[in-house]
Each structure stands twice: as C-alpha cells, then as structure tokens.
Structure 1
C-alpha cells in the first residue's frame, strides 16, 4: 500500500477591498500625501472603518495640510467602492455615503528630539523588534502558501474590478500546501497544493453554481505552478456558505494593522507585532521589516541558506539597532548563523537613515512606489519594491 503521509501548512490573503485592508490603504494614502509634499513629515495615522463611518486618528507633524476627507473617499474609490457596481447601498459601501471624522494630533516633541538628531542621523521612531524572512520555496523567495494565495487573490480581485456587475472586491483566499513530511517542510520542498479556499462576493442575481464555475475558471487560469496544482486532485472550497452578497466595511469593521500575517510571510515566520501601514519611514516597524527582508532575501539568493529569518531590534531615539540575529533553521551552507549575524551587524549600518536612503523611503511616488499600493499588495514579496532588489548579491556571495 502507498504511504500517503502529509505535512500541511496554510496561509491566507485578503484583497484591497477587505475592511482591514481598506483601513491600511487609507492610512498609507495619508502617509503618501504628506511625504510627497514634505519628505520630513512624521505620521502615524491609524484608521477605523465601520459601516458608513471612517475615523482617522493619530499623530502628524508636517508642513503639508492635505484634505483628509478627500483622501479617504478617493482611496475607497480606487479600491473599488466607487458606487458603480451592481451591489445596492445596503449590500456594500458607497463613497458618497461615508462620514469621515479626523482626529489627528501633533506628534510629541519628546519623540522628535530623539528622531531628528543634530548630527543628521535619524533615531528610531520607537522601540521594537522586526523580522525579515526569505525561503527558497518560490522564485520570489517567499513561502509557497502565501505566495500562491496572493496569486489567487490578485486574479479574482482584478476580475472583480473589471466586472463589478458580477463580483465585489471584498475577497479572501487561502492555500494549504502539502509538504509530504516535516523534513520536506524544513528543507523548503512543497509537494503539492492540497486545498484552496476562495470567498468573493457576488451579485444577488448570480446562482451559486455560476459563481463557483466562474471562480474555478479564475483559479485554473491564475498561473499556479503545474507541478504543484492539479485541478482534479486539489480540494477547492468556493464561497462555502453558499451565499456571499453583503460585504465591504458596511458589514464588517476594519482597523489599521490587523492583517500583519497577511502583510508579511503568511505565518511561516515570526513577526515583530507592529504594523507597517500608517507610519513614516522613521518608525522601525516599517523600515526595520524592509531591511530585514532585504538581508534575508540576499542570504537565501546567495545560496548561504535555504531559508532565513533576520531579527532586528531598536531603542527609541537610538539609531543603531540594539541587536541583529540571523537564524537559518539549520539550512545554512558554508557560513553558520553566528558568523552571518556578525557579518550583517558589521557590514550594514541598519540605522533608520541608512535604510531610508537605501530604499528612498522618504520619496514615495507613482514612478517608484506608493505606500498605499504596498498596503494593498503586501509589505514584502513584490519584485518591484526597492527592498526586494538583489542589488548587493556579490557582497553576500563573497562569503561562500
């Protein structure tokens, strides 16, 4: 008898239309608006969406004073809540119905004096820990489950944007990978896609059979790796309750920073616990994640390990990281974790200023990157982000 051992791991993804993502995108639309016109802006603008209400709260220090109400409404329109779909006002959010309350205060000068230092250095905007991660499981050097869940989410979301008479944009996907054994899991060797879950709102006139046939065709056409996805063998759940019409923040509240696992590595690695969205580049919850991901990706891409986690920690007002720790989970090749940690600490400054200049974090633009787009697509794993570029590979390869 054939031995059918399994070792399963699952990650989920939500689209830009999910209420929590709406909050993230609005928060980062504010960050973009402030930094584009004043790169020295300091901002932490959390957002709460519930029903027809959007509350923007937090701290800002900037020479720029944008129209926050207009930023909120334009963000919702771009997400897909533009009032032009076939869904009624009772079924999803319409931008003209939104009531926006702005509760933004000045950032404390106690923080400013430690962040903007007379030497020109930037002190960390807060204390905390951040984790970057990379895995050889996919060409993006991301864990397989979240990468394929993203592919599916993007496919269904793009269809919904173009066919808003059929589907809504409040979408969730989930992928379970079967590694076959714990050993394969530890060595980054996925065997197959075991289960797929997709939930996407559909208009009331569409029978569930039609919805499921449509979404199944999108799954099959999404570009999942054929060596892992067998449409005849994979368990697929599409709108499992049989009805998903009412959606958007009208039917589920959203909060900035509540999708940290979705934003990062799908639960495959530790996370620092602090949100990236809503924060300017001096907040190391954001910049530290980007630096950690950049380092971990280089270590894996250079062939120094099959997977890698990089922990950075900071103290508020202090530029240099308090600690740097590399963990390759026993998959390192020529250099062990102690030497990799020492190399990273001694080779890269990793101050907020160094990270900011390295990735131009103070200069978001339509030509480079926008934080609102990063909030929608995930904080890591997208090849066009500056912190995903393998631009120092020869430095790491020299360690072999």
Structure 2
C-alpha cells in the first residue's frame, strides 16, 4: 500500500548547465539533418543521427554516426554548435561561443546497425537498439507531471527568461534547482526545502544578494501558499558561483536522463534522448510511452499510470507492453495493455508516423524536460497531446 504522507525531491538543471549545453548541441545536429536533409532531396525517414557532445574549457568535441546529405559538412555542424552556445548565453573567458575550439568527428552509421533498422524486402523497419522505455503520468499538475520536477523546471525557466530579457543581468547561464515537496493524503501541498544554485557574473555578490534576486521568481513559480516561514532555503550554498558552464565542469550528452523525464518519480529505462534521431527507440518509444500514459490519465481511467515498452534491435514490434496503474485504476490493467496496442502502432515506424517525429523539433526539448510541455503548432512536443482519450476508452469498453 502506497504512503499518503511523505516528502519527495526532484532537481532540474538550466540550459547553461554543462551537460545541457551538450544535449542542446547534439539535438541541434539532429534538427540540422531534418531541416536540411529534405532540402537536399532526402526522404526524412532515411536520415540517421547518433550524436554525442563533450564540452570543457573553450573546447567542444562532437562525435557520432550519421547518414544524410553531403551538404551537412563539419564546418556547418561547428557553426550550428556556435549558434547554440551563443543562444544559451556563453560569452565568457573560459567558454565563448565565438572563441571555443570545436572539433567535429561525425562519420557514417555502422552498416551492421543499418541492416537491423532499415526496411528490406518483406522486412519492416526495426528498432535501432534493444532496451526498455517508460512513460508516466499523474494528476499532481495540470500537465499531468510529478510536482517536484515540474516546479523545479519552472523555476529555472523563469530565471532564464529574466536573464535573457536583460531584467537580471547579474545571472549567468549555469544553474540548478531542487524542490522538496510535502504530500498529505497523497496530494502535493507545499515546499519544505528549496535549493537554487545559479552562476552570477558579479563576483562580489553574496548568497544573500543572489537570494534577493531569485526569490521572487521562485515564489512566482510555485503554487500559492507553497512557500511559508517553515520552508528552508539553500541559495548558492557554497557562497560563490562565478565560474560556471563547461569552464567549471566538463559536460557530456545524455547525463541528465532523470531531469529529462520524471525526476525520479517513475522508472527510467536508462537510455538518453538527446542527439538521437527517432529510429532510436530510446527516444521515440519513451515519447510514445509518455503519450499513452498521459492519455490514460486524461481519459480518467487512472490517477497514476506507468507504461513500459520493450524492444529488440532489428525487430519492429515491441516485445512487451506493461501497464501499472498503482492501485488508482478504473479499468483492468491487462485489458488496457491490449487496448493500447490496438489504438497505436508501436513499431518504430508507427511511432514516428503517429507522432510525426521526422522533423526538426528536438533542440527545444534539450532543457527543462521532454515531458509536461505544451504541444506546439509545428509539431513540437506532439507526444503531449491528449487526442487518444476517446479511442482508449472505447478500446477498453468504457
């Protein structure tokens, strides 16, 4: 039986965090292939990207495997990376968008992997790798996301907007947030602990000075009444945070997978998202699992829903579909597992077609979470739509 009174903590990291800088660059490479590939006459379904990025003091290394037009050169990839770094806001001595050395080591995708993924004869397109992927939804926020993570993201988004608009010129791009949420009778009711570490460009600022800057944004990000006299604050607890970003800490693509998903409130299969085209089920099937879980909760079939999908490389159909409604369900879970297969084609091709994933919508996912975001007019965050509610209810006889 699940606990009803407890505290739970999740963290987020800003777009200027070293790992997020790398996620952004890797996803900008994915977008470049989907943006420029069709212009060069390529079918988007034939494009392949698996791109990893490392960033340290004034140096960026981009490596991986791709398949696409020759017009996407190493110089172009380096230019794309510089634009991303500039947009994030790095013009510092130790990491500068214009001065950093950028090395590009992208080469052709392995022929052995391509055999498993590509269609051939009567063989449908297979998964790009084996693995397990999870999706989750709950009623803690209107976006059907876990509250600790949702509000950790929101704090950093508000601070980033204030920094980029020029309202808070003292703040730097690198930041981390963490919120501990108190639950009563299973409902999120308040913040017991708030942690915010943010880079500041004025080295004379104290922790108290930084708190005075960020506290109004943090209070605005949280629901009314969540912050009170009992809430404990930890703002720049080391006392100084001037050296930030890749100059302060080496960054790598794919190291913030819990930040990217559910903040530890739900399982994670272990695969990262950024830098991967949607033939990689690490990414696309995780999006599909979130899409289905969100629609199950939106259909009022449960208050919480976890979905697991499993794949084998080169095999098109998922090996298994598992549903856990955590004791909140109003439908049999085995029946729902069958119903979900009926309402959505869960092959890699089916997922990409249903969610329209073969397009340049990935750089925007690289910070502040891949889930709990609003669907966008150009197809961004298509997996956040709740357009399967009726189909799922019909499939399970509701």
Per the TM superposition, whether the score is higher than 0.5 is: yes
Mapped contact 2:13–2:368 kept (Cα < 8 A): no
Correspondence 1:134 to 2:118: no
Task: Decide which moves more: 341-350 or 262-271.
Answer: 341-350
Which digits, 9 at most, give the CA deviation of each residue in 1:258-281, with x for residues without a partner? Answer: 000000000000011001101001
Alignment correspondent of 2:378 = none
Identify the match of residue 148 of structure 2 among 117, 120, 145.
145
Task: Decide which moves more: 279-288 or 201-210.
Answer: 201-210
Matches within 5 A, 1:361-380: 361-364=357-360, 370-380=361-371
Which digits, 9 at most, give the CA deviation of each residue in 1:197-255, with x for residues without a partner? Answer: 11111121434332211111221223x2115x134332221111221111110110111
Correspondence 1:274 to 2:271: yes
Identify the match of residue 295 of structure 1 among 292, 306, 311.
292
Q: How far apart are 1:103 and its partner, in Å?
A: 1.4
Mapped contact 1:196–1:234 kept (Cα < 8 A): yes
Q: How far apart are 1:6 and its partner, in Å?
A: 5.4
Structure 2 Cα separation of the partners of residues 319 and 37 of structure 1: 27
Correspondence 1:65 to 2:64: no
Task: Decide which moves more: 19-28 or 213-222.
Answer: 213-222
Identify the match of residue 395 of structure 1 among 385, 391, 398.
391
SS in 2 for 1:190: strand
Size of the aligned set, in residue pairs, is 375
Identify the match of residue 56 of structure 1 among 42, 51, 62.
62
Alignment correspondent of 2:15 = 16
Q: How far apart are 1:109 and its partner, in Å?
A: 1.5
TM-score normalized with structure 1 length: 0.90
Q: How far apart are 1:283 and its partner, in Å?
A: 0.3
Alignment correspondent of 1:177 = 181
Q: How far apart are 1:140 and its partner, in Å?
A: 0.3
Identify the match of residue 373 of structure 2 among 382, 397, 400.
382
Identify the match of residue 339 of structure 1 among 335, 340, 351.
335
Question: Which residues of structure 2 form unaligned runs of 5+?
Answer: 38-43, 376-380
Structure 1 Cα separation of the partners of residues 208 and 7 of structure 2: 29
Structure 2 Cα separation of the partners of residues 36 and 120 of structure 1: 28
Mapped contact 1:321–1:350 kept (Cα < 8 A): yes
Alignment correspondent of 2:307 = 310
Which digits, 9 at most, give the CA deviation of each residue in 1:280-301, with x for residues without a partner? Answer: 0100001001100000001111
Task: Decide which moves more: 19-28 or 379-388.
Answer: 379-388
Mapped contact 1:133–1:296 kept (Cα < 8 A): yes
Name the structure with the higher strand share: 2
SS in 2 for 1:240: coil
Identify the match of residue 241 of structure 2 among 216, 239, 244.
244
SS in 2 for 1:200: strand
Correspondence 1:80 to 2:74: no
Alignment correspondent of 1:349 = 345
SS in 2 for 1:168: strand
Alignment correspondent of 1:367 = none
Structure 2 Cα separation of the partners of residues 107 and 259 of structure 1: 25
